[in-house]
Amino acid sequence: MALTGIQIYKFLPKTNCKDCGFPTCLAFAMKLATKSVELALCPHMTADGKLALESASRPPIRLVTIGAGEQKFEIGNETVMFRHEKTFFHQTAIAIRIKDTDPVDKAAAMAQEASSYSVERVGMSLKLDVIAIENASGKADAFLKCIEVVKAKSNMPLILMSTDISTMEQALGKSAADRPLIYAATKANCEQMAALAKKHKCPLAVCESGGLDAIAELTKKLMDAGVQDIVIDAGARGFNASLTALTQIRRTAIKASFEALGFPVIAFPGEGTSDAEEEALLATQQIAKYAAIIVLDRFAPATVYPLLTLRLNIYTKTIHIGNPLFQSPVIPRVLKLTMS
């Protein structure tokens, strides 16, 4: 259970030194209680105090790193429901899915295209983040061959998609050093997938469509097994189902500080839609509410570029000028312009 500001204050140095950026230790404690700041801001914490306050200072949604070296990316670590409350920290990662049933030359071309795609906007280079490789064939040899082909054409981080333990074990034997996201643990293979994630030090996704209670039960099992870097697939695929599930997970993690749902979420807009246009529309919704990773089944610059631009706009830090109220003259003017 989350600690109150007064409970946190008892563990602080109580020197009011202001080294944390706040006027008093009590003010800092109140910010810690709302998870608005990190405990590391206080340079005078004792080891015992840090240990006692670890849960209070941890963001409600865990920070998860996928990939290794310069190509790695981070998701999670979010603290608010809406960006105007503070900001969103880690932008949604956009992935392209390649299936091992695709011809080798097609898989190679898709990996090359995804890896080389880049567009400049306002001085920034917008790119895709990750390639998902699915064991659609159900055959280990085909999966391993597809991984080999993709890695020959791209150094992007990977999501390895197979629920077969033996197949995933072989795949990780060739790519664990790249720290891919393992997809996915289910009720049927939870213990074995947890063992693989721990052995190879890779993040692990869970896939459970039975609702929040079922998801929480699965993540608790993984945490009890020693797996901490978890990504949630709620199994929701359509517009309404996806919006409901992702919002409920975010709200429960942040508002209720429910640790078992405090993980970033992965979504598959192509599975809940019938064509490229619908997939792009659902991906738009999921970038805004609240996917940490979206996996696209169709790649086209005409649809990817708007998604990258939307992501940039949402995850650019907002700037507040003054403290306008609803009655302030600027507000009706903004509303009038928006509605016209």
pLDDT, position 327: 64
Domain that holds residue 120: 64-314
- Is 139 within 8 Å of 102 (Cβ atoms)? no
Residue 7 tokens, joined:
């409970």
Q: How do the pLDDT tens digits run along the chain, 340 residues long?
A: 467 889 889 999 999 999 999 999 999 999 888 777 888 899 999 888 887 787 656 788 999 999 999 889 999 989 889 877 777 889 999 999 999 999 999 999 999 999 999 998 888 899 999 999 999 999 999 999 999 999 999 999 999 999 999 999 999 999 999 999 999 999 999 999 999 999 999 999 999 999 999 999 999 999 999 999 999 999 999 999 999 999 999 999 998 889 999 999 999 999 989 899 999 999 999 999 999 999 999 999 989 999 999 999 888 765 555 666 656 655 444 444 444 4
User: First vs last Cα of the chain: how many Å apart?
Assistant: 47
CATH classification at residue 22:
1.10.15.40
Determine, yes or no, domain membership for 320: no
Determine, yes or no, domain membership for 117: yes
Provide the CA 24 distance to its chain's centre, in angstroms.
34
Same domain, 115 and 184: yes
- Is 253 within 8 Å of 315 (Cβ atoms)? no
For the chain, what is the domain count? 2
- What's the pTM? 0.81
Q: Which of 57, 80, 101 is the last residue of a domain?
A: 57
Same domain, 185 and 301: yes
Residue 55 tokens, joined:
């849960």
Residue 66 tokens, joined:
């996928």
DSSP bridge pairs for 194: none
Same domain, 97 and 179: yes
pLDDT, position 333: 45
Same domain, 153 and 241: yes
Determine, yes or no, domain membership for 337: no
DSSP bridge pairs for 133: 98, 160
pLDDT, position 34: 76
Same domain, 164 and 224: yes
pLDDT, position 335: 44
Q: Which of 17, 34, 57 is the last residue of a domain?
A: 57
d(CA 184, CA 181): 9
CATH classification at residue 154:
3.20.20.20
Same domain, 259 and 130: yes
User: Which among 296, 309, 269, 303 has a CA at the least distance from the CA of 285?
Assistant: 269
Same domain, 163 and 37: no
Determine, yes or no, domain membership for 188: yes
Determine, yes or no, domain membership for 327: no
What distances in angstroms separate CA 1 from CA 47, 170, 258, one per listed residue?
Answer: 21, 40, 8
What distances in angstroms separate CA 127 from CA 92, 102, 252, 265, 318, one per listed residue?
Answer: 12, 23, 31, 20, 22
pLDDT, position 67: 95
Same domain, 215 and 243: yes
Tally of CA atoms within 13 A in the half-sphere of 134 that contains its CB: 13
Tell me the pairing of strands 124-127 and 118-121: antiparallel
Same domain, 159 and 282: yes
pLDDT, position 340: 41
Determine, yes or no, domain membership for 217: yes
pLDDT, position 212: 96
Same domain, 33 and 130: no
